[in-house]
Structure 1
Amino acid sequence: PANEDEAMQTVKVMGGEDWERWIDQLSDAKLLAEGCLTVAYSYVGPEVSQAIYRRGTIGKAKEHLEKTAKVLTEKMANIKGEAYVSVNKGLVTRASAVIPIIPLYLSVLFKVMKEQGSHEGCIEQINRLFWERLYLPTDGSEFAKIPVDEENRIRIDDWEMDPQVQAEVDRIMPLVTQENVGELADLEGYRHDFLATSGFDIAGVDYEADTERFDRI
């Protein structure tokens, strides 16, 4: 387990300090528009990930992030600004790829959600965040009130956490072995997403083509 200093370092890197400093700087420079919104992304996930994402050092950082959202909303009250944490769906990142159990969970999750027609990539998810959460239209000129959970967090992970999805993931996870993982999990989809984070495995790109040296640009 991490010691107190390591926990503090995690909060320093992954908590809300940088977010608050950015908003403070913009506010001091009078660059924040009236009614502005600022959103930080976070993750909660299922029970299998709670030891890391909520009860571990990363969880402390996420708690700090959520507290920062409340602090920022209070600071921006004079311009009717609001700060939110958006709890997003699990996605492949360089960080999540090295967290124990998460790559397997995501591979199974992707397969289940693709079969059920609810899988989203990064762009699709954030598009839904804007259209169905942040700027939900009404019959009038105002946008609808942003829907939040009891912790005042926006939940765009609702499709991932759908009971039907999670029940199927829970059924499959214990069945996965080295021999059948390619059948029970979406390894190809996970592999593509992982490579794509570094610009590889992108359709239409000729990776054998000659390129100019970028260090001269």
Structure 2
Amino acid sequence: MMTHVQLTEKITGNVARSVNPLGLRAMMTQQMTAITNQGTYPGPRHVLVLGGSSSYGLASRLTATFGAGADTLSVGYDRPPQGESLGSAGWWNQVYFKQAAEQAGHIARNLNADVFSPATKRAVIEEIQTHFGGAIDLLVYSIAAPKRVNPVNPTEVWRSVIKPLGRAVTDATLDLEHEKLVSTTVPPATATELAATIHVMGGEDWELWVHALQAAGVLAPQFKTVLYSYEGPTATAPIYHDGTLGQAKRAAEASAQRLQTLLAPSGGEALISVNRSVTTKASMVIPGFSRYCMALYQVEQATGGHEVPVQQIDRLMRQMIYGDHRELDTRGRLRPDAAELSPAVQAQVMQLLPQITPATFTTDLPGYQQLRREFRQLNGFAVPGVTNTLADGDLQGLTY
């Protein structure tokens, strides 16, 4: 007798608490198709993605494999299925990517481990030596984490915070659970909180990875590494660019300069990519960010130019990292966010933002509808053609 399980979507605040694996499988197919429709490009062959289970990291694996034909190794830190729980979306993204990549004839290895741990670095080096011909030619660093254990003193745990510096900031933030816009005041970070955020979200661990891989002799000639960063518009500057996260990103840029000096003699590169605003699990907890995105998405619906992570990262890889159409700023950073931050787009966004307030917000806003749909699809819901019903056999034969 066929058994069916009805899946219920659950959102607490701005955090998803449920998952639809069938929707995630459909989203994986959709993203693969978007890449293959662009054709192939000469790119990396053996790729390590740190944070490869969702968003920009997953997009990097997709374009590397289905655009450039690369073998990939991903390190994620996701909740596996256990008992009646289906686990996290990132777990299923890794499973479905592995299945699709192997069916296409590519190596796809997944490690469910803490990216910050020295033990994880040792395990990755062994994987590269065993399964990837002894060397990688691209490392993607796509990590957004709430905490990091001090690798020198394991009793110390650094916790990142999203706070302004110097003064409190008040902004309107979307509450997805209750579908309303609420005013939120965020107090300024302490010096200790700022330092901890830089430890977690800066480039310190990125440097440790590159040094460990180089010392183990597993970096190919002309090896490249890229860290994904964010600048943001004037509208979000008080809480982001001028706050704790912005300071962490400045620290990452200093790391890039040191790594560039290290890698240049062998023809390597250390790159910072300042990416555009997109809907991710991490971005939805940034105060004020969702309100800005609603305005941006509404403008882009009228003018075009909207990109989800896989579209942006595929463009970044094809045109900038491995192509000859690099858009660089005066600090040498790649700028795939240039269209979003253009004066023409930002002028329209700034006209629209004052109209989106807690008092005037409605769920009919086109930007809100798109934002909510993209957020739900991160967990496999609201995917066209996919039901919320699991049947016997739907999840059989799948391996991590």
TMscore range, shorter length? 0.7 to 0.9
Superposed CA offset, 1:153-208 (max 9, x none):
10000111121111110111112244454455411110111112223222333322
Partners of 1:201 and 1:24 in 2: how far apart? 43
Contact 1:35/1:81 (CA < 8 Å) preserved in 2? yes
Partner in structure 2 of residue 163 of structure 1: 343
Letter of the 1:107 counterpart: M
2:332 alignment partner, one of 143, 148, 152: 152
In the alignment, structure 2 segments of 5+ residues that lack a partner are 1-187
Match of 2:248 in 1: 61
Cα separation, 1, equivalents of 2:319 and 2:207: 26
**Is 1:209 the counterpart of 2:390 in the alignment?**
yes
For residue 98 of structure 1, report the CA deviation from its aligned partner.
1.8
5+ unaligned residues in a row in structure 1: which ranges? 137-143
Q: Equivalents in 2 of 1:146, 1:174: separation in Å?
A: 35
Counterpart CA distance in 1 for 2:372 and 2:360 is 17
**What do the CA deviations read for 1:50-86 (whole angstroms, capped 9, x no partner)?**
1122211111111111111111111112211111110
Moved more, 36-45 or 146-155: 146-155
* Counterpart among 187, 191, 194 of residue 368 in structure 2: 187
Number of corresponding residues: 209
Give the whole-Å Cα distance in 2 for the aligned partners of 1:16 and 1:185.
37
Alignment equivalent of 2:314, drawn from 127, 131, 136: 127
8 Å CA contact 2:232–2:241 kept in 1: the answer is no
1:119-164: CA deviation from partner (whole Å, max 9, x where unpaired): 111111011101221122xxxxxxx484421111100001111211
Amino acid at match of 1:198: N
Indicate the residue corresponding to 2:305 in structure 1.
Answer: 118
Q: Could you tell me which residue of structure 2 aligns to residue 107 of structure 1?
A: 294
Distance in 2 of aligned mates of 1:175 and 1:99: 20
Cα shift at 1:31: 1.3
Contact in 2 for aligned 1:43/1:88 (Cα 8 Å)? yes
Distance of 2:223 and 2:333 partners within structure 1: 17
Q: What's 1:81 paired with?
A: 268
Counterpart-to-counterpart distance in 2, 1:145 and 1:128: 10
Structure whose residues are more often helix by fraction: 1
**Residue identity matched to 1:133:** M
8 Å CA contact 1:108, 1:184 repeated in 2: no
Aligned partner of residue 152 in structure 1, secondary structure: coil
CA RMSD of aligned residues (A): 2.1
Give the Cα–Cα distance (whole angstroms) in 1 for the partners of residues 354 and 254 of structure 2: 36
Partner of 1:200: 381
Aligned residue identity for 1:209: L
Contact 1:42 1:86 in 2 (8 A): yes
Q: 2:212 matched to 1:32?
A: no
User: Would you say the 8 A contact 1:176–1:184 is kept in 2?
Assistant: no
Q: State the match for 1:43 in structure 2.
A: 230
Stretch deviating more after TM superposition (169-178 or 118-127): 169-178
Distance in 2 between the 1:193 and 1:80 partners? Answer: 39
Structure with greater strand share of residues: 2
Tell me which of 193, 205, 218 is aligned to 1:6. 193
Distance in 2, Cα, partners of 1:176 & 1:145: 36
Q: CA deviation at 1:17?
A: 1.3
Secondary structure at 1:36 match in 2: strand
